[in-house]
Amino acid sequence: MTQTGDKETAAAVPALVTREAFRDGMARLAGAVNIVTTDGPGGRAGFTATAVCSVTDDPPTLLVCLNRQSSAMPAFAANEAVCVNTVGPRHRDLAMTFGGRTPMSERFAETGWHRGVSGAPVLEAAVVSFDCRVSHRHLCGTHEVIFCEVVGVVSDPTEPGAAYFARKFHDLPV
């Protein structure tokens, strides 16, 4: 509300863009390609995400956004262990497997994994893996935002990265 003299007037609130316009715009925002994994009482699961970002370094925290309709959601909702595995060109096919409709039990069969300090699956030869424990969660529209405190980091400075831009993978140099 703004006030002019003795009268209050409502400021015009712009309408939100359409879902399609938003998605098309987001396709033009480059993002790292991550395979996000979990294990625990809810079972082992994982999905491919670009909706991952740093929150703070004290305590070291990142966030991950997961669609609540995802097949991975029940496991992530029940577990407290999460690993964000940033991948490069060598894991492009694996990222597609984790991003598709492949049964959860088959997603982990394609490459090497080990258990991190949190208990979450850590991808061998990832560009970087952030082993985490969930600190809190927030519902926002169709997604759950999972805040994750980092308990371990493993990186390979020789491994080239990948970005997802314009709905395609792009290799990044070391």
Are residues 148 and 63 in contact, defined by beta-carbon separation less than 8 angstroms?
Answer: yes
User: pLDDT digits over 105-153, tens only?
Assistant: 899 997 899 999 999 999 999 999 999 999 999 999 999 999 999 999 9
> Residue 42: inside a domain, yes or no?
yes
> Residue 18: inside a domain, yes or no?
no
Query: Could you identify the residue written with the tokens 């715009």?
Result: 25
Return the pLDDT at 1: 45
> Residue 97: inside a domain, yes or no?
yes
Question: Cα(51)–Cα(42) distance, rounded to whole angstroms?
Answer: 22
> Residue 87: inside a domain, yes or no?
yes
Greatest mean pLDDT among 1-10, 22-31, 58-67, 110-119 lies in: 58-67
As for how many domains the chain has, the answer is 1
Nearest CA to 85 among 53, 57, 127?
127
Question: Cα(127)–Cα(157) distance, rounded to whole angstroms?
Answer: 7
> Residue 60: inside a domain, yes or no?
yes
Residue 72 has pLDDT above 80, yes or no: yes
Burial 28-62 (b: 16+ CB within 10 A, else e): eeeebbbbbbbbbebebbbbbbbebeeeeeeeebb
> Residue 27: inside a domain, yes or no?
no
CATH code of the domain in which 93 resides? 2.30.110.10
Question: Cα(38)–Cα(45) distance, rounded to whole angstroms?
Answer: 5
Report the pLDDT averaged over residues 18-42.
Answer: 96
Return the pLDDT at 6: 52
Residue 154 has pLDDT above 60, yes or no: yes
Return the pLDDT at 33: 96
> Residue 17: inside a domain, yes or no?
no
Residue 84 has pLDDT above 70, yes or no: yes
> Residue 81: inside a domain, yes or no?
yes
Residue 9 has pLDDT above 70, yes or no: no
The dihedral over CA atoms of 92, 32, 64, 114, expressed in degrees to the nearest 10, equals 50
Residue-number span of the structural domain to which 79 is assigned? 34-110+125-132
Return the pLDDT at 10: 63
